[in-house]
Chains A and B, each alone.
Chain A
């Protein structure tokens, strides 16, 4: 399994904590872009041919290949639908997000 990296919360307690120049002190993984989503992709793994096309065309870096099968990280998926469009066996369906 891929290890999930945790992003720390960054708090500047006083002015002295703020860096003097614009520099990065943490990772953007803290920004859970999955909240933007209206529709979400669901993979039917029975029909998956493990071609990796969904992995290579994912703009949000949220599809990973684990044990040769694609896994979607719903924390970051924005629901653009490129994976469903490009899948050669059409085994990815875009379904309405339940809230």
Chain B
């Protein structure tokens, strides 16, 4: 495990000057993930906040090779790049023992919804890639439309709260479990407030031979409608309330990485966020109950899986 001081001395692969909002969680996540490997790195980036804010023509924030093709095919692009390098190695154009890492990056829109089939294909074919999804619970780049990662009861521009509606009516899709069902060597769920944990998981993912997937909760003060300095605190409550449990699945074996000392009620996660404000009206009390029940059930199921 590298020390914080050594990591601080490393050169940043994502430099300052990007146009992300105040208190955005995305650069915070990628500073950690990109430090987890010292090998040359190639990144394919799906359309989203990260792509739009870091590469405003004709400039870039990245110190590594970086490709953007389209919204839906970040995973397909990086799989193609990986195959190309494999072919070059076979032909002897580059030395066989040269280590190059391949990283696909997408937001929750580009991974949960639009890019799911490309991701599924790349994972099934077994390319030696890492895919990182930063999940900020909405299409934040285009103004906060609902995605399948938006939690139950959250108000988004295409699932607004009002007299007839308590926000989004459906529950959040569990993408991590979908990826586990692909039977790939490494799948993990992480959060930026548990820094060491995220760093270790990124390191493991890069070291894994074959496909690896990381799902990371990403704070978004703009769409969650909370104070920008509270982001890390909110990520901590998400972990403590088990809304976003931290676990990893290595070759089918579940392991919970963080057990909260006492499981807090979901209310603590909901209270500071403006997008859940309407849930405190009397007629919407059933949504809160349903949310709590759903989180409890998921946590129980996860505990059962970890004990197997």
Chain A interface residues toward B at CB < 8 A: 5, 7, 10, 19, 22-33, 36, 52, 55-62, 64-65, 68, 73, 75-76, 78-82, 84-86
Contact = CB atoms under 8 A, between A and B. Distances in A.
Interface stretch (B78-86, B98-106, B227-235, B237-245): B227-235
Contacts of B4: 52, 55-56
Contacts of B192: 57
B176 interface: no
Interface in B1-55: 4-5, 8-9, 12, 14-20, 22-28, 31-32, 54-55
A86 to B, nearest CB: 6
A30 B17 contact: yes
14 contacts: A5-B15, A7-B59, A24-B55, A28-B54, A28-B55, A29-B16, A52-B5, A55-B4, A58-B28, A59-B24, A59-B27, A61-B18, A76-B17, A80-B22
Interface of B: 4-5, 8-9, 12, 14-20, 22-28, 31-32, 54-62, 66, 192, 195, 221, 228-233
Contacts of A76: 16-17
A5 B63 CA distance: 13
Nearest to A81: B229
B16 A60 contact: yes
Given A52-B8, A61-B14, 15 more contacts: A7-B59, A24-B59, A26-B60, A27-B59, A27-B61, A29-B15, A31-B17, A56-B31, A59-B20, A59-B25, A61-B15, A61-B31, A82-B23, A82-B228, A84-B229
Contacts of A22: 57
Scoring A31, A59, A84 by chain B CB atoms within 10 A of each residue's CB, the highest score goes to: A59
Given A28-B56, A29-B17, A55 B8 contact: yes
A39 B177 CA distance: 42
Contacts of A56: 4, 31-32, 195
